[in-house]
Chain A
Amino acid sequence: MDMSQTDAPIEPVDAAHESAVSTRNISKNYGEVEALRDLSLEFPRGQLTSLLGPSGCGKTTLLKIIAGLLEPTSGEVEVNGKTVTGPGPDRAFVFQDFALLPWASVIRNVAFGLEMRGVPKAEREDRAAHYIKEVGLGGFENAYPHELSGGMRQRVGLARALSVDSQVLLMDEPFSAVDEQTRRKFQEDLLNLVRNENKTFIFVTHSIEEAVYVSDQIAILLPRPSRVSEIIRPTGFRHKDADNIRRDPEYLDIVDQIWASLRTYVE
């Protein structure tokens, strides 16, 4: 069993240019409450890193700081070597509650990011239509969000994030609001996406199985104040196909190991 790297302490992964995103000594206070303290993490290019932890551990806060939606109290975020000062074209966000515009059709929702970037209407609708097909929603271009199921709505959110062709995809518990079967399908699709698109994924989840299943690297965050307790890199089963991962002994071991270290933090 290859667990050699799972106990590695917090350290930069290989050389610096390998990191697409790095956070340096991020702290975030809300008045008296310390949400994040001195948090440093590297996110390797072309890979999927999960932020995993119990609720209230600040994983969404960290993701929104990386997105530029929140400002850290101290510390800084670098994306491709440039310091983040706000939202930028190099990052795209997938929201937990989808954040679709209910008055806009699927194609307008998907094209929203392109619209904000000033892409002409005809071109952005072409590109949006392409990604709508890509996520398997072909034929629903003119449907409205309330006519879609939860899973389909999140596919719209995913198509919107893909259509702007950002290097970094930030996903905030994207599958938590869809049913179990749909979630499994999403997880499989996500694996293919990581494999085929040369993008960096940062993925917030509270599901241990989900994190182990989809991640190249898992950062476990512990609460009050949030800090990275360990980084796990499941490597042994990454080459296996989607169906066999859940039966792999390493997969099961890592799930158990993470549960063992998190269970004390569950009330």
Chain B
Amino acid sequence: MVSRSLLLKILSALILFGAWEIAGRIPVSLAFPTFLESMSALFRMMGDGTLWVAYAETLQPLVVGVAISAFLGIGIGLWVGLSKTFDWLFSPIFIVMQAAPLAALIPLLVLAYGIGLTSKVLVVCIMAMPVIVLNTSSAVRNTPNSMKEMARSYLASDLDVILKVIIPAASPVIFAGLRLGVSAGFIGAILAELKITPTGVGDIITFSRSIADYPSMYAAIFSIILLAVLFLNLLEAIESTLFKGNQRGYVSD
């Protein structure tokens, strides 16, 4: 019965793409190409290299932004989780950022930093950072007390407790925060390309829309969603092999 779930996944993909194909053939709208048209546009762009060039450009702000967010976010998160003072000082900012529609800052960023790479990196950062900080700090705060007591009773220094107990205990949740940060970073990177200046994949989308080349537009959107989903699934798979059994081993189970 291993194949039942795989079979159903294939079936469900067939149904969705089939519906897309049929809706495109009716057609429900002039701006709605069929699945096959879109896929052939996708392979054409992959073949002539347009797509690869575009992704080289799109991934730049994403990679730089996520790297900065991860570095700063985990640092600030650890700090906030360990110190009551910094918790009081910084937590409210990130809690508000997490709830707020930060995308509204984009026009301001463009005014301040222009339409170049800096603005786009910043967009990725403001989207990705809050969740990384909040996950890290709450993971640090939620380290099981008995583990910290154990370390102290076996003469661990404060640094030992942080390096050998708190950080390893928090790392699954920190990693999950990173994954959510990457997910938000994708939103930011695409938003930046659609809103600030069309470059990379955003350029393909905007340009093919303006010349009504809908198959190419749909193909580009399909490819970026596919890329994001595949990458996030990869992170999730890494997460579950890396931290296998880490959440268990407590008395409660």
- Please say whether the chains A and B touch (CB closer than 8 A): yes
A residues near B (Cβ < 8 Å) are: 64, 67-69, 87-89, 91-93, 95-104, 112-113, 116-117, 144-147, 150, 153, 160, 164, 170, 177
Identify which of B147, B154, B165 gathers the most chain A CB atoms within 10 Å of its CB: B154
Nearest 10 CB-CB pairs, A to B? A145-B249, A102-B249, A97-B251, A99-B150, A146-B248, A146-B245, A113-B154, A93-B153, A146-B249, A99-B146
Task: Let me know if B149 and A102 touch, CB within 8 A.
Answer: no
Is B250 part of the binding interface, using a Cβ–Cβ cutoff of 8 Å?
yes
Task: Let me know if B251 and A117 touch, CB within 8 A.
Answer: no
Chain A binding surface SS class: loop
Q: Separation in Å of the B233 CB from the closest CB of chain A?
A: 23
CA distance A177 to B251 in the complex (A): 7
Is B105 part of the binding interface, using a Cβ–Cβ cutoff of 8 Å?
no
Task: Let me know if A97 and B146 touch, CB within 8 A.
Answer: yes
Is B107 part of the binding interface, using a Cβ–Cβ cutoff of 8 Å?
no
CA distance A153 to B251 in the complex (A): 9
Task: Let me know if A112 and B154 touch, CB within 8 A.
Answer: yes
* A144-B245, A146-B245 known; A117+B147 contact, CB < 8 A: no
Within 8 Å CB of B168, what residues of A? Answer: 101, 103-104
Task: Let me know if B155 and A117 touch, CB within 8 A.
Answer: yes
CA distance A102 to B152 in the complex (A): 17
* A95-B150, A99-B149 known; A116+B248 contact, CB < 8 A: no
Is B156 part of the binding interface, using a Cβ–Cβ cutoff of 8 Å?
yes
Task: Let me know if A102 and B150 touch, CB within 8 A.
Answer: no
CA distance A146 to B250 in the complex (A): 8
Q: Separation in Å of the A23 CB from the closest CB of chain B?
A: 17
Task: Let me know if B165 and A101 touch, CB within 8 A.
Answer: yes
Within 8 Å CB of A91, what residues of B? Answer: 153
CA distance A88 to B154 in the complex (A): 8
Is B72 part of the binding interface, using a Cβ–Cβ cutoff of 8 Å?
no
Within 8 Å CB of B155, what residues of A? Answer: 87-89, 113, 116-117
